[in-house]
Amino acid sequence: MNRPRGKAWIWTARLAAALLLGSPNRTGASPPTAPNSLTEPKIKPARLIVRGHGFLGNLRLKQQLRVLQPDSRPPEFLDSRILEDAALLLLSALQREGYLEPAIELQVLCDDGTESVLSARPEAPLEAPAHWRARRAVFLLDRGAFHYYARLDFTGLTALSKAKAAGCFLVPDMVVPQKKPKVYTPARLDRGLASLREELRRLGYRDAVVERESVQTDPLTGKVSVAVRVEENRRWWVTQLETRHQDPLQGPVGSVQTTLLREPFSPAWEQECIRSLRNAEYAKGLPDARVTIETETLRETENEVEVRVLARVKRGAPFRVGEVTFDGLNRTRESLVRKRVPLIRGEPLDRLAIDETRLQLLRLGVFDRAEAEIAPATAEDARDVRFELREAKPIEASLLAGWGSYDLLWGGFELEQINLFGLAHRQRLVAAQSLKSTKLEYAYTIPQVFSPLGEVTGLGFYRRREETTFTRRESGASLSYQRLVPSLHSSIGLRFTFEELSADDSHFDPDYGRKRASASSVGLTLDHNRTDNALYPSRGYRLFVTTELATDTFGGTANYTRFELGGSWHRPLSRTLIAHLGASHAWVTTPGLVGDDLPFNKRFFLGGASSVRGYVQGEAASYDPAGRLVGDESYLLGQAEIEQRLTPRWSFVGFLDVAGLARDIAEYPASEVVASVGAGIRWRTPIGPVRLEYGYNLNRRHRDRAGSLHFSVGFPF
């Protein structure tokens, strides 16, 4: 019997399922009627089109109009209310982007086949006939001139530089001037005035006046010239802080403490003073402690005011912890969260401990939200604490894709599941394939082991990569413990690994390592990071040390010690110019002969987008006398970069990479030097800098290429 043509077999299957399973009548009554889709034509949704703001801009605006469609399915018709609201939203969005005088032409096709055209402006909103039922609506945008700050002047400003004051209103120019960071709107101007006023008050100018003096706009070009008038007035200083504690048991006045100081008296200083005094009382189990501040003028001059601040601390009654409850635990075991809660029934109620508990619950990685509420006091002077939790989505799937100068095209997927067994465990599966490599990893993580910031991870992996002269294969498993130490800005890791290693090369030389080996190793990693940004460091430094010890005592056939240390340093030389320096040093040693103890895969192969950039991946390594790349047992690498910010998103980079190589450890620290100089451009993205760089080799060896072009993602060191 042939299967029905077209979609008829689908409807046949649905009718059969409805007859067998879908009827609630079990007494032999007639089956339910077929779905409406069998007898009624499929409804075609109305079309809403936005044009005139560029491809991405049109998509963004159309996405904003989704708020007008509360249902998941688009409506069959667009009524007058939807059209009017859509026009209003589009006009408002354009004005927020700096197009202060936009216009819209609306082309409408109604259900009766008639076509109509209407227009709208900010001062003349769209008025659509009430009877309209539009099948298609096209919003043609006329954005008008883009308004931007062409000039920004300040009068009466002495406490701040003009550049810093201008930063309250706009993003300062890089090397290449742009209009977008200087966008002008009346609302942005008001926010800039408030921001400058707050900046002056933070410096102690409590009576500062900041207001617009004049605003001149060219409607044709969009250029806006703004003059801002500033009256700084006198600067206020705190010279004495007197703290009085009021305890209900000790009477209206308790202990008095006086502190001498000299700091700018600002709202920010007041808030910090109140916070520190209040937190000190919270830690004593006084959750209702309140702090109020009064001031008394001590001395006044033409330019300064010195004041004494009186801080009254009303301690309130002490309370104990009552019952601790949790709301929102659906997939998470209550025993898991109770272990993370240091609140003990009957102990003093500490608000700071409650806040720390919230953070610990969020660090588990299974909650999107964690809030705490302290209930009113009971007759027993105890107060209950209730945590409101919202669990995160249990499964996340992501597709991976990209292109690199060495791997070329690559793709894969990542699948992560959190909160396994309700214990906040995580598992992650990553599979990626490129034209030159294969990667498959499975990781299982148990959080908050031995510490709220420690975790244990078991990892199974298989990796295959085609290097320049051999094919690298690595498979195995590892068990690691990682712990963050925020007070030291550091992380510490301990790892045990068992892996099978192989290097497939038809011209393999056993004097430089074992072609196949199994290695059981213990590794220790220390990472101290004081940079200001993990993706885009511009200030600070980073230091790291990695050690790996493999011995046949742990099993396996390899015996070696591998050590690597390094660091980086970053410093802005000006507002748009940043210096980056990096250095690393590594070596590997064996107790016996290299050919007996060292897997060939554990040699060092420099070259590529993150080391010596005049070479492709691995080609900066040493050659043997026969002309084969055999890697090194030691290297010294120094890198220097100058990054010139061109725009907020684009940068130009010049770099120098120098490496000393030692093919044999007997030649430590280096027997030859390779160096590359080059330049490139970088584009700032949420996942890190996208880099296109070319490196030219200064001292080429006999088989070295002149240079290499690299396309990669991420900071090089």
Q: Are residues 461 and 342 in the same domain?
A: no
Phi, psi of 659 (to 5 degrees): -135, 135
pLDDT at 15 over 60: no
What whole-number distance in Å separates Cα of residue 347 and Cα of residue 338?
A: 16
% of the chain beyond a pLDDT of 90: 69
Asked whether the beta carbons of 549 and 521 are under 8 A apart, the reply is yes
Instruction: Answer whether residue 69 shows pLDDT above 80.
Output: no
Residues 611, 636 contacting (CB under 8 angstroms):
no
Higher-confidence position of 601 and 406: 601
- CA-wise closest residue to 440 among 470, 404, 415: 415
The residue out of 231, 249, 271 marking a domain boundary is 231
Segment 510-516 mean pLDDT: 92
pLDDT value for 255: 67
* Residue 243, domain member (yes or no): yes
Q: How many CA atoms lie less than 13 Å away from 519 in the CB half-sphere?
A: 32
Check whether 11 has a pLDDT greater than 50: no
Whether 552 and 485 share a structural domain: yes
Residue 36, pLDDT > 90, answer no
Mark whether 117 and 158 lie in a shared domain: no
Residues 650 and 512 in one domain: yes
* pLDDT reading at 452 higher than 90: no
- Give pLDDT, residue 90: 95
pLDDT at residue 381, rounded to an integer: 82
pLDDT score, position 507: 78
48/253: higher pLDDT: 48
Local structure of 78: helix, strand or coil = strand
pLDDT of 231 higher than 80: yes
564 and 480 in a common domain: yes
Q: Is the pLDDT of residue 209 over 50?
A: yes
Write out the two tokens for 319. 């309370």
pLDDT tens, position by position, 92-117: 999 999 999 999 999 999 988 899 99
Q: Residues 6 or more apart from 283 whose CB is under 8 A from it?
A: 350, 352
- pLDDT at residue 248 tops 90: no
Q: How far apart are CA 195 and CA 192, in angstroms?
A: 5
Task: Show the tokens assigned to 509.
Answer: 């030389």
Query: 300 and 325: one domain?
Result: no
Q: Is the pLDDT of residue 8 over 80?
A: no
Residues shown for the chain = 717
Q: Is residue 408 part of a domain?
A: no
Would you say residue 23 lies in a domain? no
In this model, does residue 608 exceed pLDDT 70? yes
Tens-place pLDDT, residues 546-572 = 999 999 998 889 999 999 999 999 999
- Residue 542 is predicted with a pLDDT of 97
Residue 25 pLDDT exceeds 90:
no
Q: Which of 394, 433, 400, 434 is nearest to 414 (CA)?
A: 400
Q: Given its phi and psi angles, is residue 688 left (phi above 0), alpha (psi -120 to 50 degrees) or beta?
A: left
**Does residue 251 register a pLDDT over 80?**
no
**Residue 526, domain CATH:** 2.40.160.50
Question: Is 50 exceeded by the pLDDT of residue 246?
Answer: yes
Q: Is 707 within 8 Å of 695 (Cβ atoms)?
A: yes
Does some domain include residue 355?
yes
Average pLDDT for 150-169:
92
> Do 525 and 609 share a structural domain?
yes
Are the C-beta atoms of residues 237 and 262 closer than 8 Å to each other? Answer: yes
The enclosing domain of 358 has a CATH number of 3.10.20.310
556 and 693 within one domain: yes
DSSP 8-state symbol, 486:
G
Give the β-pairing of 148-155 and 223-231: parallel
Q: How confident is the model at residue 14 (pLDDT cuts 50, 70, 90)?
A: very low
Does residue 250 lie in a domain region?
A: yes
Residue pair 46/78 in contact (Cβ under 8 Å)? The answer is yes
What pLDDT sits at residue 18? 42
What pLDDT sits at residue 173? 61
Q: Which candidate, 668, 664, 547, 544, places its Cα nearest to that of 598?
A: 664
Residues 373-395: what's their mean pLDDT?
88
The answer to whether position 410 is within a domain reads no
Residue 6 has pLDDT above 50, yes or no: no
Q: ∠ at Cα 24 (22, 28), nearest 5°?
A: 100
Q: How far is Cα 159 from Cα 202, in angstroms, rounded to an integer?
A: 11
**pLDDT for residue 508 is more than 50:** yes
Q: What is d(CA 479, CA 411) in angstroms, rounded to the nearest whole number?
A: 27
Residue 10 falls inside a structural domain? no
The letter for the amino acid at 393 is K
Does 670 lie in the same domain as 623? Answer: yes
- Which residues lie closer than 8 Å to 628 by C-beta, 6 or more apart? 469, 505, 507, 509
Q: 586 and 465, same structural domain?
A: yes
What is the mean pLDDT of the segment spanning 644-657?
93
Last residue of one domain, picked from the residues 271, 297, 314: 314
**Least confident residue range of 81-85, 168-172, 471-475, 544-548:** 168-172
- 3-state DSSP call for residue 11? helix
Report pLDDT for 171.
Answer: 77
Q: Give the pLDDT band (50/70/90) at residue 401.
A: confident
Indicate if 456 and 592 belong to the same structural domain.
yes
Question: Considering its fold, how many domains does the chain have in total?
Answer: 5
Q: What is the pTM of this model?
A: 0.77
Mean pLDDT score of the chain, rounded to an integer?
Answer: 88
Q: Considering 314, 333, 366, which residue would you say is the last residue of a domain?
A: 314
Mean pLDDT of the region 232-245: 93
Residues 171 and 263 in one domain: no
The pLDDT of residue 249 is 56
Residue type for position 93: A
DSSP string, 52-97: SS-HHHHHHHHHHGGGG--SSSPPSSEEHHHHHHHHHHHHHHHHHT
- Does residue 481 surpass a pLDDT of 70? yes
The 8-class DSSP code of residue 23 comes to: -
- Are 382 and 319 in contact by the 8 Å Cβ rule? The answer is yes
* Cβ burial, residue 592 (10 Å; 0-12/13-18/19+): exposed
For residue 127, give both structure tokens.
């008025």
pLDDT at position 458, please?
Answer: 97
> Which residue segment(s) compose the domain that 555 sits in?
448-713
